[in-house]
Amino acid sequence: MLKTKIADPTRPGSLAYSARARRWAELLRYFPDLAEMHILDLGGTPTAWRAAPVRPAHVVTVNLDPHTARHVEVGITPVVADACELSLPATVSTKKFDLVYSNSVLEHVGGHYRRQQFADTVHTHADHHWVQTPYRYFPVEPHWLFPGLQWLPFRARVAISQHWPYGHIPRAGHFQATRDVQEVELLSVAEMRSYFPASTIWFERFAGLPKSLVARK
């Protein structure tokens, strides 16, 4: 029940739901013509856009998970591909995108080289972007909802991941928990600015503290 009240973004009244609503309000304030845009969503899913408060003119979602491409509908084109080495199919590659959008993906791509590739994809495909990632120095790690998890030794993080029942990442055996911990690398402000030097960094806050970073342009 606690996990649902905190982490379920589809549950009105949860902290995650409120945070998502505030983020959407800021996105629409910054891009008031979002409903008219053609958007490339790196790491997104059609399901997320079905639930969006505003539906853009067209969205191309890029995701490694083939399950995200099962349901095609008007206005949303799912593509199974690697956002860090993006090769779009001919049916969409010639389209001009107004905005590249990404939500909580950059911390998952794997190391500096891959993050730079991801940023290059963002810069290549549109003049404008909105790239969000959790902030490394927020006191609660957002994937596990565990205080200070990101600053603990690797072995301790794996042990917690095996037993901690909250957050978005389910408990697992040692092998999977190790992979889960290895797969998440939260970013600092300096790192975010290095990948998006011409962007404004917006600090999404919770209780007055920076919770996540958004590079926007």
Task: Quote the mean pLDDT of the chain.
Answer: 91
pLDDT at 149: 98
Percent of the chain at pLDDT > 90 equals 78
Tokens read off for 190: 């300096």
pLDDT at 10: 58
158, pLDDT greater than 70: yes
72, pLDDT greater than 80: no
Quick one: average pLDDT of 187-216?
96
Query: Which contacts of 116-120 are long-range, i.e. CB under 8 A and separated by 24 or more positions?
Result: 116/195, 117/84, 117/85, 118/42, 118/83, 118/84, 118/195, 119/195, 119/196
8, pLDDT greater than 80: no
Contact by Cβ (8 Å): 66, 79: no
| Rg value, the chain, Cα | 17
Tell me how far the alpha carbon of residue 112 is from its chain's centroid.
17
- CA dist 68 and 6 (Å) reads 25
Strand partners, 59: 39, 76
Domains of the chain: 2-138+184-216 (3.40.50.150), 144-183 (no CATH)
pLDDT at 111: 94
Quick one: average pLDDT of 158-165?
96
What does the DSSP 8-state code read for residue 187? B
- CA dist 188 and 135 (Å) reads 6
Strand partners, 212: 134, 204
Contact by Cβ (8 Å): 187, 210: no
Quick one: average pLDDT of 51-70?
92
Phi, psi dihedral angles at 146 (to 5 degrees): -120, 125
Instruction: Give tens-digit pLDDT for 97-129.
Output: 999 999 999 999 999 999 999 999 999 999 999
